[in-house]
A and B are shown apart, each in its own frame.
Chain A
């Protein structure tokens, strides 16, 4: 069971079979567990730590006390003063025996992270073939940071592509969502080459702010971006219709690169940052990029993982905040120079 960080054996926190937001068409998204960034607004906090974690959602509790009785490390307690039925978990004592997960009837506990054999994943994805074919969909590797596990991913997508060819004579579309904080090697290049589309997150242009909000400076991320841009198989799409894979029938030689920025109020969604982002796009001759609007539901996920919530923001983007984008990218920009890809904005 014990995993820790193992580049050849990643855990998966979730498989979304039905995403319409992570690339063209209907896509199966694998969220790999583990990321080198520690963004304070992280939308998938359960995918930061590469190891197993215990999710404790006391809201679902029906007070059956099974967890209390069966915990190996005795990490549960009651508040005697208030005489509440509410059970408390001390994560410092918890040794991740996960007895509570198995015994709880109410899904108070869950294990974040599951290891899948490649064969298991391939079977599941094969069963969705028809949905990919009809919509130009495929799979998306997300996370966390999928490129922290190049060896595993390389093996996985090789087998997957081969199986799709054998069974359906179909070139499965693969999409990568990366935060850019990874080290290049041949396996990474193989993965990028065999993908159809890379969503590359660029968050904060100012390096010191980046360190403050994401835990590391942005130099590796920006360098990796330039390295990828210079790879011979990478292509910058000129218009959005190139991202429709429905007509894709021959093996794609190129991999499309689309930068993406999560819009986090007062962190990434500041006039300065958006201007700098625009400048960066111009410098690199990029026309199509994607903004991801802020989703406040993440903080709930952080709480049940026992993490401290460092960024307090409970509401969705306001109209005024969205207006910042329009101030920087005026209508002329959008008509002639840029296209903002809108999978949900």
Chain B
């Protein structure tokens, strides 16, 4: 019999530790900071027979073996055996327990983080040692030499709207022509990330001084609750003023997102507390280790996290709405995931507005609005205060931006005298004198302004898919103006000056790409285990048509493509709009060439179909044409649309598993619902009955996920509105309403549906095997799935399943089932409104959640085994067809009008080594063009063989540059977890 002696012994030690060591006691009782971790924790088993309690009270810890009243946190283990091992389990193991359903919790997740942290410092605090998992940084030059040399076609013909480039392909340049970029690229690949506590510290400091719930300093005109917009605005001003202005030795754009060269920002008010248990281990973890200084660790541990334990979004939602079923279901990880617990930044700001006006003019605009409020004052005093506080918050946030820019200017000045690169610094100083306060006048000023605004936005919200929009369009007027100023005539020296100017623009854009990579999103180890390798997914969109419908591909489009090709970075995530009627075929060819050369970018979109889909969903034609990809692939109408386009990742397999398990989920305890009959033949006499059962479960989870998303949205309104972002999107200034409250012109929410192909293949398999061929009954099927096709007789069934047509074989019957399911999902999500009064739009892409959800799901009727990844986005399963055109035809048949949040279709396609470069490009282009002509919405190639990927798995040190496209975003292959790497290797490899 397992017993709990060891567990209790561990607790005894802990108790002694707190009693004897003042230093340790500080962890739970810190009068200096007015902090006491006074919580009661109950540890129990599912059957409720084994109980341990722990109670912390002003630095004292007691424990015992009984049930207690009103615990703050309950940890429930599957059984006594698992519980008995729990105390000695490593942090890693504890995560596994949580993911496998061996352990679940009821109550506040921050308390669990805190408690997990406490268990890591016993019996003594781990010593800091260097990461053992990754080779020491060296120059990647040698590695890059191993790559197949990049080949370039030359066009020598002005196509699309190109005015200045003689060869729009810029085929003669390579990164060797840009030594500065070359060195910066090398440096980036050999820089280790550090956790940066600067922002977290300043945010906490602000709130400790000025208050969170209450306005401690009386800064607000009205009495009562601290207006959240005003509070957030003042907070931003505070932290931006205190933010260290940094110009690194090699910078040509000023400022950094964090205080480190490559920093990981912490947002304790969002999901930052998740890193608490890892403060002593994060530098040594296997995947994506971050360094952390002792100073930063202590700040987070003692000063920051304690303040936010009950004040973060997730816990505020729990407090406000009770521990709802909809919230608890999310916290099992395997059904749906809500991005609002981490960030709401999946949108695109209106840079054009800032570039044209400058921040000072925007502040003026806001002040005018405040003056106009006097009219409301008499009528509705509450509305008056709400709006006034909102405007004041916005104004403060923008003032913060200006102060930060001034500080940057001072910093460059201070560096100037000692510097040996004065020429470059002068350019930075001149830009900073103008932007962001005043309108930009040149390309350099414009891109400097965008960068400063960009990094300031990252101080307000975690950068999870905040996207750049159409920089080739927005920057073009400045590019043109610069060239006009060159005063070109047709002689040779002027040709040189044009060439020099274009090289300068290439370098500036390259610098901007590098800057976009100067920070990483915080990923706790559980996140690494589930997905990992994701960056912030800052999408950049190129090409397509203008808002009036003309060809928008211009010189800058091609210059951006050149930079993308030369750098081969995962960020920004480059998305190209290709309009089948307006853009040239040479442009599509170039997109394919860049994709071949970078292995995985850009992803290519069908502009015509996307625009028509958006128009059908209520966007004005000119706004629909001004769409850009957000995060991964999702469309946002730039500057007018707050679409939180990745509000949730939703597993379509979850409902199927609940159906097959009679209302239970294998990883979840207790039973979830009883809305469908038991999974028995007599209850589901026909396939229609089964489909109805699936739809019922689907409806149930859709309803719950939306309820939770809406709850979280309201919590964001209450505690985390976004004054800065609101100032940069059209609507909020006009209406006096924050973005999170529906201030934007368009207010949708975007859903990502994961495992569509797996569910179609599974349902189709049941249809054939159980209902048509009648090879086995439903009961038998369930038995076979539960034992993962282990027995010999199961293998026969598995073979039958393998030879069924799949989604991707272009089989009419499967296509019909897929279309039905798309219709159902579209209509069902369409029934709900979000908390801002907008609609829910569905899309089929998966970021990395096809791996995460797959890891947490059992064996499926499609033949996919337990724990294996689902297929990414809407990509047919490997083996569905060995003919790429069948895959293409199947995916192109998905009705684009029903997927307004876009799709991600991955194709692993490798040029035949004997093909010439041009022939390979032509083949890619032929497939892409045909797919778009058939109405396909989005396409992304991975141009790498499984052989190379396998080699990279074994020798990661040789492949730091190797970029792959997951589902909508890019990642460096070597930073991915094993499951994800295997998923990429197992993708079907087509050849030209």
Contact = CB atoms under 8 A, between A and B. Distances in A.
A25 B883 contact: no
Nearest to B915: A344
The size class of the interface chain B forms with chain A is: 20 to 34
A270 B922 CA distance: 34
B582 interface: no
Interface stretch (B398-406, B532-540, B795-803): B795-803
B926 interface: yes
B178 to A, nearest CB: 35
B885 A17 contact: yes
Nearest to A25: B926
Contacts of A239: none
B278 interface: no
A342 interface: yes
B914 A134 contact: no
B933 interface: yes
Contacts of A18: 883-886
A135 interface: yes
A337 B938 CA distance: 45
A68 to B, nearest CB: 14
Given A62-B799, A105-B803, A344-B912, A17 B883 contact: yes
Contact of B929 (A105, A134, A345): A134
A134 B925 CA distance: 9
A131 interface: yes
A128 interface: yes
A16 interface: yes
Contact of A62 (B792, B883, B914, B929): B792
A137 B925 CA distance: 13
Nearest to B793: A64
Interface in A92-134: 105-107, 127-128, 130-131, 133-134
B885 A26 contact: yes
B926 A105 contact: no
Given A62-B795, A127-B889, A135 B803 contact: no
B414 to A, nearest CB: 59
Tell me what chain B mostly uses at the interface: helix, strand, loop, or mixed: helix
B885 A105 contact: no
A218 B929 CA distance: 44
B187 to A, nearest CB: 41
A20 interface: yes
Which of B797, B885, B923 has the largest number of chain A CB atoms within 10 A? B885
Interface string A312-325: 00000000000000
Given A134-B926, A134-B929, A345-B914, 15 more contacts: A17-B883, A17-B885, A18-B886, A20-B992, A26-B885, A26-B927, A105-B797, A105-B799, A106-B799, A107-B799, A107-B803, A131-B930, A134-B930, A137-B926, A344-B914
Interface in B23-43: none
Interface of B: 792, 795-797, 799-800, 803, 883-886, 889, 912, 914-915, 922-923, 926-927, 929-930, 933-934, 992
Contacts of A16: 883
A325 to B, nearest CB: 14
Interface in A21-64: 25-26, 62-64
B885 A131 contact: yes
Interface of A: 16-18, 20, 25-26, 62-64, 105-107, 127-128, 130-131, 133-135, 137, 342, 344-345
Contacts of A135: 922-923, 926, 930
Contacts of A62: 792, 795-796, 799
Contacts of B889: 127
B795 A17 contact: no
Nearest to B888: A131
Nearest to B801: A105
A105 B934 CA distance: 35
B734 to A, nearest CB: 45
Contacts of B992: 20
Contacts of A345: 914
A64 B926 CA distance: 45
A17 B887 CA distance: 11
Contact of B926 (A26, A63, A127, A344): A26
Which of A17, A128, A137 has the largest number of chain B CB atoms within 10 A? A17
Given A130-B930, A344-B914, A105 B796 contact: yes
Nearest to B588: A134
A247 to B, nearest CB: 12
A18 B923 CA distance: 11
23 contacts: A16-B883, A17-B885, A18-B884, A20-B912, A26-B885, A26-B923, A26-B926, A64-B796, A105-B799, A106-B796, A107-B799, A107-B803, A130-B930, A130-B933, A131-B930, A133-B930, A133-B933, A134-B933, A135-B922, A135-B923, A137-B926, A342-B914, A344-B912
Nearest to A62: B795
Contacts of A63: 792
Which of B799, B800, B884, B929 has the largest number of chain A CB atoms within 10 A? B799
B246 to A, nearest CB: 50
Nearest to A26: B926
B883 to A, nearest CB: 4
A130 B934 contact: yes
Contacts of A134: 926, 929-930, 933
Contacts of A17: 883, 885-886
A131 B926 contact: yes
Given A20-B992, A134-B926, A135-B930, A128 B885 contact: yes
